[in-house]
Every structure is written in structure tokens, then in C-alpha cells.
Structure 1
Amino acid sequence: MLINVPETVVADALRGMAAAHPELTVDVERRVVVRGDAPVAGKVALVSGGGSGHEPLHCGFVGPGMLDAACPGEVFTSPVPDQMVRAAAAVDSGEGVLFVVKNYTGDVLNFRMAQELAEDEGVRLATVLVDDDVAVADSLYTAGRRGTGATLFVEKLAGAAAEAGAPLERVESLARQVNESSRSFGVALSACSTPAKGGPTFDLPPGELELGIGIHGEPGRERRPMMTSGEIADFAVGAVLEDLRPTGPVIALVNGMGGTPLLELYGFNAEVQRVLSERGVPVVRTLVGNYVTSLDMAGCSVTLCQVDEELLRLWDAPVQTPGLRWGR
């Protein structure tokens, strides 16, 4: 592992992020990353966060057109309420703050407590829960579905609406719409290794894969002998479509879990596009790369978000963050 000691991994990464991205305000000590021009007058602010190890989610999505602040926890560990309250105070312009929360028990409890504390200090707050993973109904970390790839869609589309001046009620409503219009399914080809453990977090023998894995290495639907890229696409896209049942065009996210090269991800995307074409699902935009990761896990996930003209326009709106940027 390319680290000094496990205890300083997150702090070291935040120092490196601060050096690489002077347009951000990075508080290494108190673990908050804020866009440099915050608070932005007249704008609803978006705050998210979660355990580290999923980069560029969430800190890499801070900037114009997406998040106003992010709170990184320790690896695979929720940030604490104090971080979230501090982030909300730093970005609140008086127009309100939206918390975007992945459905993991620690995140849900801590963001809920942070909302109560921030509201006591006069911040107007709303919360949207992301729970897009169709693989399992409950997991080691959640009651209900896990929040995975759709987090990117919620943060991008709601972030664009906020950047355009939409009020808090509209930004919250749109974020809920995006979550409800999105579904994901992930596959692990290898286990991830946490800095603290220094080795695989679960046992996945060579020549096998886990279908429906979570972004912390949670078990999926089933374990099978290794499959081809086309076979994985058939299974993963089929699982998403069976649940989402889109009636219009979609944006496709073909996401790497951290240890899969782009050569393989683009090849997998070709198979994803084949399945969607065979199923008669029009794809209007596609994003391929490592966006919602699980440290060094080899594998991939597919997220589909059904969009209308408004959502497509918000997707195409400019975004300038370390992990996602286009336009302007």
C-alpha cells in the first residue's frame, strides 16, 4: 500500500488534496472540504459525506455545479455530526442546506443528529436519502437498500439545480426524483484491502466473483465462477432493468470499483450498451470511470438513471470539481 501509517491515511490524503486543488478550502484537522467561494449568496448549499475509501466520492465532487462541502470519515466509517454541522455552517448563505446521505446506518444516524444540531443554530435543512442498490434488500450496514452509484447522479443533478438558483424545496424534490429514478448493481472480482487490515477484507477465491457486492465489501446475491464481461453485463443490467423498468431514456454510469483498468471498463461498457440496445432502452449520456469506489477492489457497477428533458439539461450543465468537470 502507498501509505505512511494507517492512522494518518485520511489526513495525508486531505493534505494532498489541498495542495492539488487550491480552489477548495480543506480543513485537515476538522475534516471538512468546502468550495473556496462558499457561502455563495442566494444559493442553496449541498453537503454530503461518508467514509473514506470511495474516492472521488465525496470530497472529489466539491465545487461549482455539485457539492458545496463534504465530510470525510475514516476509511469505511461515517463522519461524525460535528463535521456535518461545521460544513453546513460554512456553506449556508441563508437559502438552506440539503444533506445528501447514502443509506448506511452510521451515516443516517449521524446526519440526522447533525440536522437537529444545525437547525438549533438556525440553519434551514432538508435531507435526501440515496438507496439505489437493487442487489439486496438489507445488508451488514443498512436497513433497506444501500446507497451507491446514484449518489453521483443526485449530487450532480441537484447540484446543478442549486447552482441555477432553485429554492431548497425544489432542490430537495428533484434530488428525491433522481434517487427514485436510479438503480445500481455491483460486481466484485477481488476483495478490497483496508489500510488498517493490510489485506483482503473478505475471502473471494481466485476464479470466482461476487454478484451484487456493496461498496464496503458487503456480501451480494451470490458467488459464481468467473464470468465473461458480456455475461456480467447481462446479469447486472438485467437486475437493474427488472427493478427500474424505465419508460424513457437513461443516463448510464459504468463505474469502476477502484482496481479495474479503464481498458476493461470501456470493454464492459460496450457490453452494457449492447444489453440496453437489445432491451430497447435508449441511452442519452454515458459516464465511464472510477467514481464510487471501494479502495483497490477489482470490479464494476452499473447505475441507470431515467431522465426527462429537465434532468438531461441539468446533467449537461457545467460542473467544476476534482472528480467531475465539463462545460464553461
Structure 2
Amino acid sequence: MKKLINKVESVLNEQLLGLGEAHPELLVHQEPVFVTRAVGPIQGKVAILSGGGSDHEPMHCGFVGEGMLDGACPGEIFTSPTPDKMYECAQVIDGGSGVLLIIKNYTGDMLNFETATELLHDSGMPVATVTVDDDVAVKDSLYTAGRRGVANTVLMEKLLGAAAVRGDSLDALEMLGHKINNQGHSLGIALGACTVPAAGRPSFVLADNEMEFGVGIHGEPGIERRPFTTLNNAVDDMFHTLIDHGNYQRTIRVWDRLKGAWREESQSKRALTRGDRVIALVNNLGSTPLSELYGVYHRLAERCAEAGMIIERNLVGSYCTSLDMPGVSITLLQVDDELLSLWDAPVKTPALRWG
């Protein structure tokens, strides 16, 4: 293993310190560790908080800032942050209108964010949650009950961040979050494995002519290992899977603010179809060159046009990574005029900025 680190046990702290030094508009808190905007809470605005294991950068800490997240809680590499981080972060960013927690559907994240939600409720803070489960690859995985939450998280953080600036209430943001989740679909492939510093070796081995189809953002397996032939064939397989696996019912856990308890709710994923307007995200999983990502986008745009779908906006680059994994994920989010307006709203974070 050859990485730009000193000691494995100091990786997270040194990288977060560098983030804060490079971006003084952010504040890196210690004991417990979390990141917030340096300007402090905005009175009257619902605060947006997310987080998860580190080494998916820039998600999540790189999306803290104007028009997106108010705070982010990083765990150790590929490990959920502990509930005390979410609790303390929420206390810092709450401007009196409550806090919305965005949770990726991974078992550790779900358990710890659920505990934090209960603690915040007991403290008297209005709190709501939205779970992201956009990965169409597998129904259950090594790390989840249900489908995994992956790169649609980035789009959700942008859209809900803009809606919070618009003045949406906590209840309205929760409803909008469920809509975004139910209309977003993601799938990833890996041409090789990532190397976790503590392990010191790749998490799996692929032959030169193989790819992991439907890989997770921690390197966990997907649908199957398939032959890798050409870019077009790989993107075609991804596109067909995104389209074919769109419609399904599943049960998610929802925080009932009135009762102060969790309940199960059935929700429907909406399949992509002809005439849909979409935001397309072509995301680098770690070490794929930008030039190759543009090749992926070119083929994706061709397939969308053939299927009668209109790409209204796009992102191409590194947004939800998995250390140094060579691979790519595609996210297609069905949108309307309201979501496009929220997408175009100003954003100023280390990793996403326009307007």
C-alpha cells in the first residue's frame, strides 16, 4: 500500500484539519468531531444535517455550506459516526426551526442516526428524518436491510438545502425528501477494488476482463461479476438495469414526530420512463479519470435520448467516492419544474458551487 498518509489512526483528524484550513467558511469541531458552517445557526431556517463513514469525499463534509448542508458528521473510514456526534452537531446548527437528518440506508448509519433522533426528540428539539435507498442493484446487501443509499444522497442534499433556504418547514422538507428518494435510481460498477488503509490491501480481486456489477460504495458485492468488454457495453448494461429495476414497493422506517416513535411505512419507487426529465449524475468512485467519465456521460446521453428521456441538468465528477476504487456510478433523478428551480438555486460549498 502506498498512500499519502502518516499513521492509520490519525488519517481522519489530519484530513479534517486540512479541510478546515483550506475552507475557513467551515468550522471543524473536536470531541466529538463534526463539521458546521462557521457562520453559526440561521434563525428561522430548518437546519440540514447528514453524515456517514469517511472516504466517500467530498460527501458529506465537502457539501457543508450555503444552500446545502448546515452540518456533517464524519465517522472513521467506512464506519458510521456515533450518535453523540449527530446530537452535538444538531445542537450547534439548530436555528429554532428544527433539524432534518438525511440518512443513507446502511445498517450502522440507520442504528446510530435513529438513536440520535430519539435523543434530540427527548431534548425538545423538532427533528425529522429522510432515508436514502437509491441503489437498484440488490434488495439486501452485506451492510443493509433493504437497498443501499448511495449517490442520490448528493442530489438530495442539494435540493433539500435549497428548499430549506426557501423557507420550507420541517414537515415540508421531510415530504420533499421522500419524493426525491422515490424518484432517484443509482447503480455502480467497479473495475477494481479500493484499499482501506487499516487493511493495507485491496478489498477484493478482479481479473483483467472482469467488473463488479452493482458494487456498493464500501466495495461490497453487487449483482454479480460480469465480463468487461467496452465502455458502451458497460453503460448499456447499467442503463437497462436502472430502467428495468425502477418500480417496486418497500418498507422504510419513518420518525413520527407527533408520537415520538418510529413507524414502518410502505413507499413506492417510481420507475423511469419515456418523457421523463432527469438530472444525470456520472460519479467517479475513486480513481477513474475525468476523461473516462465524460465517455460514460456521452453514452448515457445517447441511451437517454433513445429512450425518450430528457437530461435537464448533469453532474460529472467526484461526488460520492469509495477511496481509490476504479469505477463509476450513474444516478438518474426524475425531476419537475420545482426540483429544477431548487437545483439551480445558489450553492456555495467546498465541492459544489454555482449561482
TM-score tier (shorter): over 0.9
CA drift of 1:29 comes to: 4.0
After superposition, the C-alpha distances for 1:78-136 in whole angstroms (9 at most, x for unaligned) are 00000000111011111010000000000000000001111111111000000000000
SS state at 2:212 partner:
strand
Alpha-carbon distance in 2 for matches of 1:27, 1:48: 15
1:21 aligns with 2:1: no
Query: Which residue of the other structure, out of 33, 37, 40, is the alignment partner of 1:38?
Result: 40
State the match for 2:111 in structure 1: 109
Contact 2:87–2:120 (CA under 8 A) maintained in structure 1: yes
Alpha-carbon distance in 1 for matches of 2:207, 2:50: 35
SS state at 2:243 partner:
helix
Query: Which residue of the other structure, out of 198, 204, 207, is the alignment partner of 1:205?
Result: 207
Query: Which residue of the other structure, out of 291, 305, 321, is the alignment partner of 1:277?
Result: 305
Percent identity for Structure 1 against Structure 2: 55
Alignment of 1:73-112 (within 5 A): 73-112=75-114
Alignment of 1:144-183 (within 5 A): 144-183=146-185
Alpha-carbon distance in 2 for matches of 1:245, 1:313: 21
SS state at 2:239 partner:
helix
Which consecutive segments of 4 or more residues in structure 1 shift more than 3 A?
none
Alpha-carbon distance in 2 for matches of 1:227, 1:135: 20
TM-score, normalisation: structure 2: 0.91
Judge which range, 30-39 or 179-188, deviates more. Answer: 30-39
Query: Which residue of the other structure, out of 241, 253, 266, is the alignment partner of 2:281?
Result: 253
State the match for 2:139 in structure 1: 137
CA drift of 1:206 comes to: 2.4
Alpha-carbon distance in 1 for matches of 2:30, 2:93: 17
Query: Which residue of the other structure, out of 293, 303, 320, is the alignment partner of 1:292?
Result: 320
Alpha-carbon distance in 2 for matches of 1:3, 1:274: 41
1:306 aligns with 2:308: no
Contact 2:228–2:234 (CA under 8 A) maintained in structure 1: no
State the match for 2:69 in structure 1: 67
SS state at 1:268 partner:
helix
Q: Aligned letter for 1:39? A: P
State the match for 1:55 in structure 2: 57
CA drift of 1:312 comes to: 0.4
Say what the alpha-carbon RMSD is for the aligned residues: 0.9
CA drift of 1:222 comes to: 1.2
Contact 1:50–1:58 (CA under 8 A) maintained in structure 2: yes
SS state at 1:115 partner:
helix
After superposition, the C-alpha distances for 1:6-47 in whole angstroms (9 at most, x for unaligned) are 111110110100110000011144211001122101100000
Alpha-carbon distance in 1 for matches of 2:39, 2:123: 22
State the match for 2:264 in structure 1: none
Alpha-carbon distance in 1 for matches of 2:167, 2:222: 40
